[in-house]
Amino acid sequence: MLSEGNWVTFRVHPDANKIEVREAIQKIFSVSVLQVNTQIVRGKRRRFGKTMGQSKAWKKAMVRLKEGDKN
């Protein structure tokens, strides 16, 4: 979880949509969510011994909180 200003970044389930992310954040952290942006982060190529592989892709959610709601 990263934060800058009123924006907080979470790693979320790949199947989660913006509405589910908003509801979960509001319920778990008791804050008001103004905006949710999501992004799929592609897996990077990695070397595993002699062979090349790839790390898994994951979903990132950037959540904008109401002013003063940060804990």
- For residue 54, being part of any structural domain is answered with yes
Question: How does pLDDT run across 2-54, given as a tens digit for each residue?
Answer: 666 789 999 999 999 999 999 999 999 999 999 999 999 999 999 989 999 99
Q: Residue 15: which domain range?
A: 2-65
C-beta separation of 70 from 18 below 8 A: no
* pLDDT for the residue 71: 57
Residues across the chain: 71
C-beta separation of 34 from 64 below 8 A: yes
Residue 7 Cα distances to 22, 25, 53, 55, angstroms: 13, 13, 33, 26
- Looking at the 3D structure of the chain, how many domains does it have? 1
- For residue 70, being part of any structural domain is answered with no
Tell me the whole-structure pTM to 2 decimals: 0.79
